[in-house]
């Protein structure tokens, strides 16, 4: 018989299943045959003995690869490493560098170079949301909340702002001939920019390894079925 897990108490190692026959069946951990802890809503197949469930097996939901719109714009679900690299990162880099090469060939200041620069800026802006949505789904594949992306974006944003402030202040001080007076302030701010830059680089490298290189959760997790088909 099939049913859904109503709940599981890890302290007592007991749980309950709502069978598709409308009855409630209690179970203990010894009856559970899944590889992960029972979760509310899990679809299971089990043997019913009186009002007890035995030989309980988790029924793995089938993963359906997202189509164009959900893949690039939805924050829900999971994607694998291959989907992340082959459907987003590689095409993005190919388009970006192809535009850069065409712009370089056209020559600085030419009409084509200006048009390419505008195209790159528009392309980068258009891809902001898809890059976020895809990263969130890759984070989900590692069974982590999509809010983890803030650990990447907030330090990067703060570093960029501080770097622009430091560069702007340095340029203004040099233009005003006041570099010697402003040097202590610029030096302190510059040290802060360097420290934050190193920290941001470390976070970027961690994100690259954690969400770009590591296998997602084997089997279903709280964000959906496993996108990698197992033999």
Q: For the chain, 231 residues long, give each residue's pLDDT as a single digit of tens.
A: 888 899 999 899 999 999 989 899 999 999 998 777 888 878 899 999 989 999 999 887 778 899 999 999 999 999 999 999 999 999 999 999 999 999 898 888 888 889 999 999 999 999 999 999 999 999 999 999 999 999 999 999 999 999 898 888 777 777 776 656 656 666 777 888 889 999 999 999 999 999 999 999 887 788 988 898 765
Q: Is residue 141 part of a domain?
A: yes
Identify the pLDDT of residue 159: 92
Cβ partners under 8 Å of residue 48, min gap 6: 1, 19, 21, 23, 25, 54
Evaluate whether residue 220 is within a structural domain: no
| One domain for residues 38 and 103 | no
Q: What domain count does the chain have?
A: 2
| Domain co-membership, 72 together with 54 | no
Can you give the CATH number for the domain in which 18 is found? 2.40.50.140
The answer to whether position 230 is within a domain reads: no
Under a CB-based contact definition with an 8 Å cutoff, are residues 31 and 40 in contact? no
- Pair (88, 155) in one structural domain: yes
**Closest-CA residue to 156 (of 196, 211, 212, 189):** 196
80 and 193, same domain (yes or no): yes
- For 6, the domain range is 2-58
Whether 147 maps to a domain, the answer reads yes
| Burial class (CB within 10 angstroms; exposed 0-12, middle 13-18, buried 19+) of 191 | exposed
72/51 same-domain check: no
SS (H, E, C) 45-77: EEEEECCEEEEEEECCCCCCCCCHHHHHHCCCC
| Polymer length of the chain | 231
218 occurs within a structural domain: no
128 and 15 in a common domain: no
Residues 110 and 200 in one domain: yes
Q: Give a yes or no: residue 227 inside a domain.
A: no
Q: Do the domain assignments include residue 143?
A: yes
Q: Which of 24, 40, 58 is the last residue of a domain?
A: 58
Task: Mark whether 139 and 99 lie in a shared domain.
Answer: yes
Alpha carbon separation from 7 to 17, 59, 71 (Å, rounded) = 7, 16, 32
What local confidence, expressed as pLDDT, does residue 186 receive? 67
In a domain, 174, yes or no: yes
Q: Give yes or no: residues 149 and 51 share one domain.
A: no
98 with 189, same domain: the answer is: yes
Sequence-distant (≥ 6) Cβ neighbours of residue 88 within 8 angstroms: 72, 130, 131, 134
Q: Are residues 72 and 148 in the same domain?
A: yes
Instruction: Collapse the DSSP code of 137 into the 3-class scheme (helix H, G, I; strand E, B; otherwise coil) and give the result.
Output: helix
102 & 147 share domain: yes
Phi, psi of 32 (to 5 degrees): -85, 130
Task: Report the predicted TM-score, pTM, of the whole model to 2 decimal places.
Answer: 0.74
Q: How far apart are the first and last CA of the chain?
A: 25
């Amino acid at each position: 018989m099939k049913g859904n897990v109503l709940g599981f108490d890890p302290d007592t190692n007991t749980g309950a299943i709502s069978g598709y026959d409308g009855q409630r069946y209690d179970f203990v951990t010894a009856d559970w045959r899944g590889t992960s802890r029972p979760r509310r809503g899990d679809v299971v197949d089990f043997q019913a003995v009186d009002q007890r469930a035995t030989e309980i097996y988790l029924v793995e939901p089938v993963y359906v690869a997202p189509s164009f719109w959900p893949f690039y714009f939805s924050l829900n679900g999971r994607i694998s490493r291959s989907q992340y690299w082959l459907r987003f990162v590689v095409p993005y880099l190919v388009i970006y560098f192809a535009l850069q090469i065409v712009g370089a060939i056209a020559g600085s200041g030419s009409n084509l170079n200006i048009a390419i620069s505008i195209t790159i800026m528009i392309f980068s802006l258009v891809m902001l949301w898809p890059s976020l949505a895809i990263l969130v789904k890759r984070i989900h594949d590692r069974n982590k909340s999509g809010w983890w992306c803030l650990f990447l974006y907030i330090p990067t944003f703060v570093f960029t702002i501080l770097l622009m402030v430091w560069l702007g202040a340095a340029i203004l001080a040099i233009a005003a001939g006041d570099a010697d007076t402003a040097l202590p302030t610029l030096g302190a701010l510059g040290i802060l920019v360097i420290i934050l830059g190193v920290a941001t680089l470390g976070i970027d490298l961690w994100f690259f390894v954690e969400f770009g290189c590591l296998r997602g959760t084997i089997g279903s997790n709280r964000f959906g079925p496993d996108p990698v088909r197992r033999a």
